[in-house]
Each structure stands twice: as structure tokens, then as C-alpha cells.
Amino acid sequence: MHMTRLFIRTLREAPADAEIASHQLLVRAGYIRQLGAGIFIALPLARRTLSKIEHIMRAEMNAIGGQELTMPVVHPADIWQETGRWYQIGAEMGRFKDRTGHEMVLAMTHEEVVADLARGLIRSYRQLPALIYHIQTKWRDDPRPRGGLIRVREFTMLDSYSLDADEAGLEQQYRAHHDAYLRIFRRCGLPVIAVRSDTGMMGGRMAHEFMYLTPIGEDTLVLCDACGYTANRQVATFRKPAPSAEAPRPIARVATPYTTTIADLAAFLGVPESRTAKAVFMMATVGDGSAGEVFVFAVIRGDMEVNETKLANAIGARALRPATEEEIRAVGAVPGYASPVGLPTHGHASFQIIVDDLIPHAPNLVAGANEEGYHLLNVNYGRDYTTTLVCDIAAARDGDPCPVCGSPLRTARGVEVGNIFQLGTRYTQALGATYLDHNGQQRPIVMGFYGIGVGRLLACIAEAHHDEKGLIWPITVAPYHVYLIGMPGAETEAEALYADLTEAGIEVLYDDREETAGVKFNDADLIGIPIRLTLGKRSLKEGGVEFKRRDRAEKTIVPLTAAVAHVKQEIMQLEDGLNNRFASYA
């Protein structure tokens, strides 16, 4: 491709709203342009890189038995209504009516379509297992698109779906996808880790996310360097301390003016925060929300924080929000001085108390008296209050003991670039997708889902591979292998070299513009193609063509007659270097 024919415009400055490096560089280097909030155009350079990423995806999916198909972007609402997600998902789902008034959905994901497809095609265990996948456009009306391609509203994903006769088959396909996805990321040059995660709106009994660790990430990960424990903070656990055994002491009311926070209360009474009970108030939307919100009173030890994902999962909530002061007072609690002791609303359908599982083992805590300016000493779960729901709702933090080995945990930020779910029979049971087993009994098909965001992966590769001058693409996903610069006085030789490289199967972007050498060199660095060749009077005088790798500072002169062979060898070395660098991710 000649640069004079390439549909591109590079920029000296990034757009004002581009806050992270990948967004800035992909715009400046002419890879993407924004059409609307969270909606981007992939220009020719980006399209070439995306195609290479997709080629890698197809190769790895085919290697584990995947069959590619294409499912629609627009779905009839009926199948989403059958699974119930039509009623559970809020404004992020794109809904519209066709010309006949039929409700339609813009695809966020394709579980319903796959389950509907399975109930029409699969009849017998002999047709299982099956593995289908596609690379398709999705729409999620995210209220806060950000970070260029990191968080968008329209996006493309690799979606893979496994169909099995039993859980053992699902486990096998789940492991196969886990390994295949790690190979995809390795071949793309992106370091990732797999972490246990929340199943969220997808449902199912197990999920993992593939995370690229970076300060720009919105997810918080909990890691143990000693034993390798990894989890998204949403589901991470930790080894909770065993409180010293004490006999329950008599409850006592004590004046505690101006102590509406745990820190103020502990300081006023001269006790550690671990000797207090913290009250957290939320309003939960359960089911389709038609029954109204449920008031949630969560109790946790004062030195810990509530994990909202664990809390939502414990009560089956699809949304949580902080309760207002008026809502807190309406149940008989007093903000800043609240506890479940003596509240008259236990067991009420619109009121739920949930207690962290450490509380029943923590004796004689300080808790609110539900009276302005007063707390209660020596509050004990089981004697002074009870609830039907006791479980882990605590958020893991830096320094907490690892649940596996007890070593200190650490937290890190990350961007999710892929996820895998053991869906089980959630969707197939809802849609009646069954098969006849060996004994002629009807059983629901067992499903798994596995996804990678293609555009987000491209952005994360850019985030991981750049310097102050621009992008530095891994050879496997670079839009071209070589950036050839032709200088005045060597046009004929540059055109001949371009032809020789192209004939040898090497992908070349030939900068034949009438621009200064500085502009061409700056654009070469900005665009980030792995190998740069410069041909001009000076290089010819020195014996050939100037060779430079984008990831190195040194330059060498290669004879023109050896240029093609030299470039081929360097491409092989770049590929080998990538494989060696990311071998641990295979």
C-alpha cells in the first residue's frame, strides 16, 4: 500500500477527551475516528489489525473443534422474554419495535439465540457435544463510555457457545476455552491473568475473566503472590480473623454524641474498630422490580467494608442503591446510630437484614441504639438479634490474609478483555432446549459461554505496546510488517524494493509522500509498524537500505540485494521473541 493512497490522516495532538494512551495514539495515528459517544469507526489500519486478531481467534477456536456461524444483531424480544432477561436488564438494552409493532432487541449477547437454535436442531445425545462461535457486532447502551475502545456502546466480540449432555462435558469445554483464550492473548502479545469472577447478568455457577493488569482498569483484582490465588474483588474471599472467645456480657446503653462514623465511635470509646458493628443501608431491586424496592440492612464488623456484588448475589438483587435518610428512618433506624437490635420490621417482605458471617463469631460488639447520640455495648448476634441470612459480604483488601495460604493479599487494577461462563441449564431450561439421553429420557442441554471483545483487545494491545513517540505493534497484529520510506533521489530503487518485498509476501506500507524526512520518521514511529526501511541517496551511498526496528534505537545498513531475506529473518525473530516472552500465558 502506498501512503499516498491510504485513507488516513495523522494528528500532532490528541483529542481533548482522549485521556489514556491507547485512545490518544489510535486517534493520532489514524486508526480510529469517533462517530458518537462510545461509537467508533475502524479506519483501514485498524481494520487490518482487527482482521489479524480475528484470524488468530478463528485459528484457536477451530483448533478446539469450533464451527463458525453468524447470528443476527437484531433479535425478536420473545426469546429474551422467555428467559426473563427482557424484564431484568435495564436501559442498557437496546429495544425497539419493527414496523408491525413487534418488540425487538439489539444484541447484547447471544445466549437466547443459541438456546433457541439448539431446541430446533438438537434431538439426541448423539449430536452432543457441539461448539459454535461467531465474531459479531453487539450493542450495550453504556451510560459512561470512556477510554476510546476500552468502554464503548457498539462493539465486536468473539462469542463461543458450548453445548453438552452433562456437567462433565461442560467442564472439559470450559478448560479447552480457558487454554485457547490464553493462547489467543499470547499470540496477540498481551499479558493477561485469569481470575475468578462474578457471573452477573449471564448467570451460571462459575465464571473467569481474563485481565490485562493496568492502572487504567476499572476492575479491582485481588492477588496472592505466594500461592497464585486470583479473583475479581467482586467475588474475592479472604481468611477472616478468629475473634477471641468471650462470654456474652450484659448489653448496656451508652451516650456517644457526635459519633456517626465508625472511626469517630472507636476513638470516642477507646476501642478498636474491629470491636464495632457497622450498619450499611441499601435499596434493592429484585426480579423485575414490579414489587417495588426492598430495604436492605447489612451488618458487618466495623473494620471491614461491604462488597456490594456479594450483597446483591446473596439477596438475588439485580440492582442496588444507597438508601436515603428518609428511607432509613422509615424502618425505625437512625442514621449514624443504627443497628438491627429492637427493630420492629424483622421478616417484613420489603425489609431484609443480612449479616456477614464473621458477626456471629464476634462477641460483645458496639452497635447503634437506634437513638440519636447513643450506642449499645456488648451486642451479640443470636441473643440480641437474629436473621435468616448470614453469609460472606465482606470486601477483600490489600493485606488481608489469602484464603488459600494466609499470605497477604494485594490488589491491582485491570481491564477485562475476555470472560468464560459455565451457564449450565439456565437458558436451555427456559427455552425448552432438550435432548434424549441413552435411556430415552429428555434432559436439558448444558451450555457454556466464552467471549473476547475484539476492539477492547486491540486497545489493550496498544496500551501495552507504545512509547512516547507512538505505537509499537507486535508483529502478529501489526497492520503491516514494514514501513518503507522513500527519500528524494531514490524513488526508483524504493519502488523496486517495495515490489520485491510485496512479491515475497511481506506486507509493506510505502511512504511515497512528498513530505520532509522528519514528518515521515515521526509518522512511522506514531503508526508503530515493527520494521522501518529507509532508502535514499545517503543510504545508497553507504551501501544499501537503512534498517531499523521500531522497538530498538540502533540502525543498520543492509545491502539492497539482501534486504528481502533480512526482513524475512527479522520477522521470524520478532515472532519467536513474542512466543518466548509470553510462553507462560499459553
Check residue 487 and report its DSSP letter.
P
Inside any domain, residue 305: yes
Per residue in 99-152, pLDDT (tens digit) is 999 999 999 999 999 999 999 999 999 999 999 999 999 999 999 999 999 999
CB 555 within 8 A of CB 546: yes
Residues facing 70 on adjacent strands: none
Q: 399: alpha, beta or left, given left = phi > 0 and alpha = psi -120 to 50?
A: left
The whole-number average pLDDT for the span 254-259 is 95
491 vs 539: CA distance, rounded Å: 13
**Quick one: pLDDT at residue 318?**
82
193 vs 173: CA distance, rounded Å: 19
Q: Where is the domain boundary, 360, 391, 422?
A: 391
> What residues contact residue 228 under an 8 Å CB cut-off, 6+ apart?
none
Per residue in 279-307, pLDDT (tens digit) is 999 999 887 667 788 999 999 999 999 99
Question: Confidence class of residue 214 from pLDDT cuts 50, 70 and 90?
Answer: very high
The whole-number average pLDDT for the span 545-560 is 96
Inside any domain, residue 34: no
Question: Confidence class of residue 584 from pLDDT cuts 50, 70 and 90?
Answer: low
Give SS3 for 296: strand
User: Does one domain contain both 314 and 190?
Assistant: no
Check residue 232 and report its DSSP letter.
E
Q: Give the residue from 50, 212, 223 showing the smallest Cα distance to 582.
A: 212
Inside any domain, residue 9: no
User: Does one domain contain both 226 and 283?
Assistant: no
| Percent of the chain at pLDDT exceeding 70 | 97
Question: Structural domain of residue 313, as residue ranges?
Answer: 252-391
User: Does one domain contain both 516 and 564?
Assistant: yes
547 vs 563: CA distance, rounded Å: 9
Question: Lowest-pLDDT range, 190-199, 319-328, 432-441?
Answer: 190-199
- Report the CATH number at residue 447: 3.30.930.10
Question: Confidence class of residue 203 from pLDDT cuts 50, 70 and 90?
Answer: low
Inside any domain, residue 295: yes
132 vs 229: CA distance, rounded Å: 31
User: Does one domain contain both 215 and 126?
Assistant: yes
284 vs 269: CA distance, rounded Å: 33
What is the number of domains present in the chain?
A: 3
Inside any domain, residue 99: no
Residues facing 164 on adjacent strands: 446
For the chain, the farthest-separated pair of C-alpha atoms sits apart, in whole angstroms, at: 97
Q: Give the residue from 210, 221, 223, 214 showing the smallest Cα distance to 179.
A: 210
User: Does one domain contain both 457 and 334?
Assistant: no
User: Does one domain contain both 561 and 429?
Assistant: no
Q: Kindly give the pairing relationship between strand 219-223 and strand 277-286.
A: unpaired
User: Does one domain contain both 66 and 203?
Assistant: yes
Cell 431484609, residue located = 352
Say whether pLDDT at 15 is over 90.
Answer: no
Question: Lowest-pLDDT range, 1-5, 120-124, 312-316, 412-416?
Answer: 312-316
The whole-number average pLDDT for the span 176-195 is 96
Q: 10: how many CB neighbours lie within 10 A of its CB? A: 15
222 vs 213: CA distance, rounded Å: 11
**Quick one: pLDDT at residue 583?**
66
Per residue in 78-97, pLDDT (tens digit) is 999 999 999 888 899 999 99
Backbone angles phi, psi at 476, to 5 degrees: -70, -25
- Report the CATH number at residue 346: 3.90.960.10
299 vs 281: CA distance, rounded Å: 9
Q: Which three cell numbers stand for residue 437?
A: 439421553
Residues facing 412 on adjacent strands: 221
Q: Where is the domain boundary, 339, 361, 391?
A: 391
**Quick one: pLDDT at residue 292?**
81
Q: Kindly give the pairing relationship between strand 374-379 and strand 365-371.
A: antiparallel
- Report the CATH number at residue 559: 3.40.50.800
Check residue 274 and report its DSSP letter.
G
User: Does one domain contain both 204 and 159?
Assistant: yes
Q: Which helix (H) or strand (E) covers residue 420, if one does?
A: strand 410-424
Inside any domain, residue 170: yes
The whole-number average pLDDT for the span 388-396 is 95
Question: Confidence class of residue 580 from pLDDT cuts 50, 70 and 90?
Answer: confident
User: Integer distance in angstroms from the first to the last C-alpha of the chain?
Assistant: 34
Tell me the whole-structure pTM to 2 decimals.
Answer: 0.90
**Quick one: pLDDT at residue 585?**
54
**Quick one: pLDDT at residue 342?**
87
User: Does one domain contain both 373 and 454?
Assistant: no
237 vs 397: CA distance, rounded Å: 10
The amino acid that residue 117 corresponds to is L
User: Does one domain contain both 115 and 229?
Assistant: yes
Check residue 361 and report its DSSP letter.
G
Q: Where is the domain boundary, 333, 358, 391?
A: 391
Q: Which helix (H) or strand (E) covers residue 533, if one does?
A: strand 531-535
The whole-number average pLDDT for the span 474-489 is 96
Per residue in 222-234, pLDDT (tens digit) is 999 999 999 999 9
Question: Confidence class of residue 570 from pLDDT cuts 50, 70 and 90?
Answer: very high
Question: Confidence class of residue 347 from pLDDT cuts 50, 70 and 90?
Answer: very low
Q: Which three cell numbers stand for residue 166?
A: 452433562
Check residue 3 and report its DSSP letter.
G
User: Does one domain contain both 111 and 160?
Assistant: yes
Say whether pLDDT at 202 is over 70.
Answer: no
Q: Which has more confidence, 479 or 316?
A: 479
Strand ranges of the sheet holding 103-106, from the earlier edge strand across to the other edge: 74-76, 103-106, 94-97
Q: Which three cell numbers stand for residue 390?
A: 448470614
User: Does one domain contain both 115 and 215?
Assistant: yes
Question: Confidence class of residue 504 from pLDDT cuts 50, 70 and 90?
Answer: very high
When the pLDDT of each residue in the chain is averaged and rounded to a whole number, the result is 94
Inside any domain, residue 115: yes
CB 529 within 8 A of CB 481: yes
**Quick one: pLDDT at residue 12?**
92
Q: Give the residue from 204, 217, 211, 201 showing the smallest Cα distance to 231.
A: 211
409 vs 223: CA distance, rounded Å: 6
Q: Which three cell numbers stand for residue 215?
A: 492502572
Residue 64: exposure state from Cβ atoms within 10 A (0-12, 13-18, ≥19): middle
503 vs 497: CA distance, rounded Å: 10
Inside any domain, residue 469: no
| Percent of the chain at pLDDT exceeding 90 | 88
